[in-house]
Amino acid sequence: MSCDDKNCDDKNYDDKSRELVMTPTFRLAAALAVLVSSTALVSGTALVSGTAVAQTPPDGAVLALSCAGCHGTGGASPGSIPSIRGKTVEYVATALTEFKTGKRPATVMDRLSKGYSDAEIKALAEHFASLR
Ligand code: HEC
């Protein structure tokens, strides 16, 4: 539309664009578009994480790399932080679970352990127990 046209004053133009935006059909379509895209996002996320858990169980050796800075290489601590190398699965898993739930008081492990799922705790415990 050209505004050289006599009918095309500002008011007229505004009224027309408002008409388009506020059309009930347009509102419905917009609402549906939001609904559909958010639903797709949620189910997509669930699908991806479900697949990841099913196909790649946590790798204890990889997860354990982040413990080495404090507990020493392979869990054999050179300092005052306790060694966790060769402890039983139950010992490590129980400690991590109790740190996570707050049952066992700690300075850092309470916060750290919250980052690991039960499956990851099990994988970590099995990894350290397997080292002799
Ligand atoms: C920032 C240093 C740090 C990191 C990283 C760290 N820990 Fe610890 N860990 C500690 C300290 C300090 C303690 C003693 C409890 C406390 O004060 O938090 C401890 C205690 C533990 C204990 C209990 C040992 C015992 O005999 O009582 C376990 C099990 C443990 N950590 C496992 C891990 C695992 C598994 C990781 C890696 C996922 C890890 N920690 C990473 C510092 C760390």
* Structure confidence at residue 20 as a pLDDT band (50, 70, 90): low
In ligand 1, the atom with minimum distance to the C-alpha of 91 is 29
End-to-end CA distance of the chain: 81
Atom 39 of ligand 1, nearest CA residue? 67
113 Cβ neighbours under 8 A, 6+ residues apart:
96, 97, 99, 100, 121
Spans of all domains in the chain: 10-55, 60-130
pLDDT at 119: 97
* Structure confidence at residue 98 as a pLDDT band (50, 70, 90): very high
pTM for the model? 0.69
pLDDT at 56: 85
Q: Are 83 and 77 in contact (CB under 8 A)?
A: yes
36 Cβ neighbours under 8 A, 6+ residues apart:
none
pLDDT at 55: 61
Mean pLDDT of the chain: 79
Q: What class has domain 60-130?
A: mainly alpha
User: 3-state SS of 36-94?
Assistant: HHHHHHHHHHHHHHHHHHHHCCCCHHHHHHHHHHHHCHHHCCCCCCCCCCCCCHHHHHH
Atom 1 of ligand 1, nearest CA residue? 70
User: Which residues does ligand 1 sit against, CB inside 6 Å?
Assistant: 63, 66-67, 69-71, 81-82, 84, 92, 95-96, 106-109, 112, 124
- Ligand 1 centroid–CA 96 distance in Å is 8
Per-residue pLDDT reduced to its tens digit, 31-90? 555 545 554 545 444 445 555 556 688 999 999 999 999 999 999 999 999 999 999 999
85 Cβ neighbours under 8 A, 6+ residues apart:
71, 72, 74, 75, 76, 128, 131, 132
Percent of the chain with pLDDT over 70: 58
Residues in the chain: 132
pLDDT at 30: 52
The more confidently predicted of residues 58 and 12 is 58
Q: Residue 62 has which token pair?
A: 């990889």
